[in-house]
């Protein structure tokens, strides 16, 4: 007896986009004509069918599945394993299937389990025996690994474009704020004055490393599993190099067992994605802080914020908050894939079917986040006066006074102590260091002269850090020019 299928919340109804399960299919044996069904005495239970099917999510691999099948078929024909007529039929059928998939006319059948069996069955409906010959020398195990790699390669290329757009948005904003001074923080306490452009460019560098990581991961994604068949390779005289060339892979996977079973390429992709999301969550945290009235450094464009249903005055930075929150799911996907892989014996196991949803959602989340983010950065309204005001509050030029004393021959540790006492004095007097009269300053060190005031200004402090990687406007301008040529 079939157990009753529980009506799970949000569950895909068995026959919404998927057609009803035919009771008996003549192509195979029982059970809707599954490709392996001749071996079985009874059909798979409805619940198990739903539990094991992946078509609801892996159908998004359809175009890559077709691409892979065409390359495989052409190779088979080239090697004399398939006739020219069969190849022509397969190419014609696949052309139609591609159109059906793209137009949404394709009928996905849950009883055909996954994207691969759905497409193969449709091909056979359209072109007959040639469709049944397509799977010669191939298994779904090397087929799915190929599809996922093709899909991920395209996704990495899209992500690289989105990262580049985000870098270019940062550059655009930084360009306007080379001279804008803001407090740089350590421990979220005012530390030293920095150029706002310099601060923004810190994120540019993080994203540049993210792009390097994805590019490096792409090298290992871009290897061809096809030819590994189920696990041991195939007895047909195939030409794997030819398939690799046609599909744009850099090389073939060198070991058939490894080719069908490992998903390390997807795991390292997710690790790179986690780092990018981590970088964006750091930026998000800053935007959220800066937009609060306590800072008031920036305003985000209204289209990235929402109001409150009860407090009429609220304008909340929802987008950066959501980005911060979405890091949780992306990190979760990384852990899911690591856990999925852990302890799997060679070679392919059905566990690997669970690789897709985390991977797909990681790509979707990252791409959408980056796209929105680039637009949001372009719409940041900077409030230089508020930044300047904040700089007056934390003795941001105290280090400059210590450096000044060192230049006058005072050992750094003594200079540090003298300035610490001066800061304490200014704090009690309720003013900033440059507001103290010369006589007061000289009480802390006789080496202080009238030239000290130039050093204590925000502009003086920034301008003095003019080495590569420093915050001086001259250095930042050079960094911006170099960055522009890098992307
Ligand atoms: N849908 C399967 C997956 O995603 C395809 C490979 C199935 N192979 C098998 N031997 N059952 O992994």
Q: Where do the domains of the chain lie?
A: 52-136, 141-388, 392-486
- Per-residue model confidence (pLDDT) at position 314: 82
- Per-residue model confidence (pLDDT) at position 36: 64
Ligand 1 nearest-atom number relative to CA 115: 1
Question: What's domain 141-388's architecture?
Answer: Up-down Bundle (1.20)
> Residue range 106-120: average pLDDT?
97
Q: Which residues contact 170 (CB under 8 A, 6 or more apart)?
A: 200, 201, 203, 204, 207, 377
- Indicate the pLDDT class of residue 27, thresholds 50, 70 and 90: very low
Q: Which listed CATH number (1.10.3210.10, 3.40.50.970, 1.10.40.30, 3.40.605.10) goes with 392-486?
A: 1.10.40.30
- Per-residue model confidence (pLDDT) at position 308: 81
SS (H, E, C) the chain: CCCCCCCCCCCCCCCCCECCCCCCCCCCCCHHHCCCHHHCCCCCCHHHHHHHCCHHHHHHHHHHHHHHHHHHHHHHHHCCCCCHHHHHHHHHHHHHHHHHHHHCCCCECHHHCCHHHHHHHHHHHHHCHHHHHCCCCCCHHHHHHHHHHHHHHHHHHHHHHHHHHHHHHHHHHHHCCCCCEEEEEECCEEEEEEEHHHHHHHHHHHHHHHHHHHHHHHHHHCEECCCCCCCCCCCCCCCHHHHHHHHCCCEECCCHHHHHHCCHHHHHHHHHHHHHHHHHHHHHHHHHHHHCCCCCCEECCHHHCECCCCCCCCCECHHHHHHHHHHHHHHHHHHHHHHHHCCCCCCCCHHHHHHHHHHHHHHHHHHHHHHHHHHHHHCCEECHHHHHHHHCCCCCCHHHHHHHHHHCCCCHHHHHHHHHHHHHHHHHHCCCHHHCCHHHHHCCCCCCCCCHHHHHCHHHHHHCCCCCCCCCHHHHHHHHHHHHHHC
Q: Is the CB of 144 under 6 A from ligand 1?
A: yes
Q: Is 90 exceeded by the pLDDT of residue 276? A: yes
Strand partners for 186? 189
- Per-residue model confidence (pLDDT) at position 9: 56
pLDDT tens track for 373-399: 999 999 999 999 999 999 998 899 999
- Residue located nearest, by CA, to atom 11 of ligand 1: 350
- Per-residue model confidence (pLDDT) at position 21: 46
* Threshold 0.75, pTM exceeds: yes
Compute the mean pLDDT over every residue in the chain, rounded to the nearest whole number.
Answer: 93
- CA separation for the pair 56, 66 (Å, rounded): 17
Q: Is 90 exceeded by the pLDDT of residue 43? A: no
> Residue range 156-178: average pLDDT?
98
Q: Could you give the C-alpha distances from 19 to 32, 62, 106, 107, 269, in angstroms and in order?
A: 12, 17, 10, 7, 35
- What is the CA(61)–ligand 1 centre distance, in A? 13
- Per-residue model confidence (pLDDT) at position 25: 42
Q: Is 135 a catalytic residue?
A: no
Helix pair 240-247, 62-78: axis angle to 10 deg? 140
- Of 110, 117, 111, the C-alpha closest to 139 is 117
> Which of 49, 61, 113, 114 has most ligand 1 atoms within 8 Å of its beta carbon, as the pocket-test mutant?
114
- Of 202, 196, 204, the C-alpha closest to 171 is 204
Q: Is 187 a catalytic residue?
A: yes
- What is the CA(273)–ligand 1 centre distance, in A? 25
Beta-sheet pairing, 223-224 with 251-252: parallel
Q: Is 60 exceeded by the pLDDT of residue 18? A: no
Strand partners for 192? 184
- CA separation for the pair 7, 18 (Å, rounded): 17
pLDDT tens track for 324-352: 999 999 999 999 999 999 999 999 999 99
- CA separation for the pair 334, 276 (Å, rounded): 13
- Per-residue model confidence (pLDDT) at position 4: 58
- Indicate the pLDDT class of residue 307, thresholds 50, 70 and 90: confident
Q: Is 80 exceeded by the pLDDT of residue 464? A: yes
Ligand 1 nearest-atom number relative to CA 348: 10
Q: Is 60 exceeded by the pLDDT of residue 317? A: yes
- Per-residue model confidence (pLDDT) at position 161: 98
pLDDT tens track for 206-256: 999 999 999 999 999 999 999 999 999 999 999 999 999 999 999 999 999
> Residue range 433-459: average pLDDT?
94
Q: What is the token pair recorded at 55? A: 């078509």
CATH of domain 52-136: 1.10.275.10
> Residue range 99-118: average pLDDT?
98
Burial of 383 (0-12, 13-18, 19+ CB in 10 A): middle
- What is the CA(442)–ligand 1 centre distance, in A? 79
- Per-residue model confidence (pLDDT) at position 306: 84
> Residue range 107-115: average pLDDT?
97
468: left (phi over 0), alpha (psi -120 to 50) or beta: beta
């Amino acid at each position: 007896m079939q157990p009753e299928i529980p009506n799970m919340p949000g569950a895909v109804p068995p026959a919404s986009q998927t057609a009803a399960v035919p009771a008996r299919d003549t192509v195979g044996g029982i059970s809707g004509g599954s490709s392996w069904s001749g071996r079985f005495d009874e059909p798979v239970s409805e619940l198990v069918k739903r539990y094991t099917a992946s078509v609801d999510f892996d159908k998004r691999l359809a175009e890559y599945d077709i691409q892979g099948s065409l390359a495989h078929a052409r190779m088979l024909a080239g090697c004399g394993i398939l006739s020219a007529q069969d190849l022509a039929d397969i190419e014609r059928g696949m052309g139609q299937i591609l159109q059906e998939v793209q137009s949404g006319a394709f009928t996905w059948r849950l009883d055909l389990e996954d994207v691969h069996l759905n497409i193969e069955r449709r091909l056979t409906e359209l072109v007959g025996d040639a469709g049944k010959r397509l799977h010669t020398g191939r298994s779904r195990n090397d087929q799915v690994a190929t599809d996922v790699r093709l899909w991920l390669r395209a996704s990495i290329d899209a992500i690289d474009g989105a990262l580049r757009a985000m870098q270019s948005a940062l550059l655009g904003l930084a360009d306007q704020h080379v001279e804008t001074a803001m407090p740089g923080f350590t421990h979220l306490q005012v530390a030293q004055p920095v150029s706002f452009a310099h601060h923004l460019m810190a994120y540019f560098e993080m994203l540049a490393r993210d792009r390097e990581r994805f590019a490096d991961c792409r090298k290992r994604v871009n290897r061809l599993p096809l030819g590994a068949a189920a696990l041991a390779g195939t007895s047909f005289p195939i030409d794997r190099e030819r398939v690799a060339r046609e599909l744009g892979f850099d090389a073939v996977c060198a070991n058939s067992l490894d080719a069908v079973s490992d998903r390390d390429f997807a795991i390292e992709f997710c690790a790179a994605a986690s780092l990018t999301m981590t970088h964006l969550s750091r930026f998000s945290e800053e935007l959220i802080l800066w937009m609060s009235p306590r800072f008031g450094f920036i305003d985000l464009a209204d289209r990235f914020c929402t109001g409150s249903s009860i407090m009429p005055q609220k304008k909340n930075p929802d987008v950066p908050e959501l980005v911060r929150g979405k890091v949780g799911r992306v990190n979760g996907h990384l852990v899911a894939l690591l856990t999925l892989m852990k302890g799997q014996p060679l070679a392919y196991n059905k566990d690997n079917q669970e690789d897709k949803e985390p991977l797909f959602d990681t790509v979707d989340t990252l791409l959408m986040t980056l796209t929105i983010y680039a637009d949001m950065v372009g719409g940041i309204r900077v409030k230089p006066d508020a930044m300047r005001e904040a700089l007056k509050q934390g003795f941001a030029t105290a280090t400059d006074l210590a450096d000044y004393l060192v230049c006058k021959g005072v050992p750094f540790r003594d200079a540090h102590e003298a300035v610490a006492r001066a800061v304490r004095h200014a704090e009690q007097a309720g003013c900033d260091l440059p507001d103290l009269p010369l006589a007061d300053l000289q009480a802390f060190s006789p080496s202080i002269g009238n030239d000290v005031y130039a050093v204590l200004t925000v502009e003086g402090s920034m301008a003095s850090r003019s080495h590569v990687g420093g915050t001086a406007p001259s250095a930042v301008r050079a960094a911006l020019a170099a960055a522009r040529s890098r992307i």
